[in-house]
Structure 1
Amino acid sequence: MKRIFLSKEMRSIRIGVTSLALALMTLAAQGQEKAEHKNANVRLADKALSAGNFKEAEKHLLKALPEESKDPDVQYLLGYSQFHNGNFKSAISTFETVLTIEPRHTSALYYKGMAATKLAVEPNSKLSATIKEKYLKTAIEDYSKAIAIDANDPKLYQNRAIAYRDLGILKGTKEMDNYNKDQATDAYNKAVIDYEKVLSYDASRKDIQTEVKKAQVYRDNLK
């Protein structure tokens, strides 16, 4: 589910089949009249995000708190900026705040899952195998929650498949303290199922076809 952040007035519109034309006209008119956010720092963050300057956006959004702390859109943009700045732990915390306010915020679940996966597989990470496993299971849980809300978004299945695959690699590496062949096999099997779900939306995706084969090879070569 793609999220579009609109004014409160625009979000209050419920488009019915019989009033579609009128609703579209109303949306257009409100779009023209939409006022800028009352918080100057949020306005500055919007400009920074438009320019792709996530560091500047994060700085201004942090300044907007705590005044805007209960606004899920502002909190989400902060987490989004933190994610793109590589501040994954901070992003996870911010997305948790978003989900406390709006539990069905699928984009927050999606990026929270991505942030957790990033922490688990960071090169030269000093995290223990147990903590890495915890992050990957958290990511899987986040994607599963998002799928329960929006079951027709292939990117959710793809990212959950990646988390399952990485969990399989972690649990299937004998040098790791949490090595468990059976759990690794199960993780790879679930990765294959999710990859195949992605292919059900677009069977021509060569990259996913390759990932299915790789997961199967990894699974079959577990010792």
Structure 2
Amino acid sequence: MAAVLRERTRRYQQEQRGEATQPGEATQRGEPTQRGERTRRYQQEQRGEPARRFGDELFAEAYIDGREFNLSLLCGPRGPQVLPPAEIDFVDYPPEKPHIVGYAAKWDDRAFEYHATPRRFDVDEADRGLVETLRALAVHCWRLFDLRGHVRVDFRVDERNQPWILEVNANPCLSPEAGFMAAAARAGLTIEHVVERLLRDAVGS
């Protein structure tokens, strides 16, 4: 047992130095291994040194403050059916907290965001025109990317009422609590209805 521990310790120390751990490996002595490279970059960051982690070119997107809508689409015999649109409400968010539906809002039932981001399907009369625009854009995404099955398109609408497409999710979650199934239920569809449509679409019948 002591010999095994010594060998493991030796290999770990080699990896931290960026050395190959066994003869015949792709890396040569002195050439960083994957773990050794990660360690080197971490140490650089701790010393305040720049570390190139993402290649030579980066791009940044502006944060779009505004309302958030989800439009779900389900395959049908005459093309995609646009399910009832949902708007995400950001309830009691502090002024300095960005309105983002992240991991905590979706999956962590102990988090503030989880309980403070309810979805609602009631469309105000003043938003009828906006919703029709979102529907048209969602269908355009379906056709542009040649999608099938079930899809969810997420939008932000800025203060000028300009829609922005955040994401085209070509395989959204089908759990009962997820946004797609909530929209399907609003349209009177059960999980059995949804799965049957997906299977028919997959086999081309």
Query: Could you tell me the TM-score, scaled by structure 2's length?
Result: 0.26
| Higher share in strand | 2
| Higher share in helix | 1
Higher relative contact order (CA 8 A, sep 6+): 2
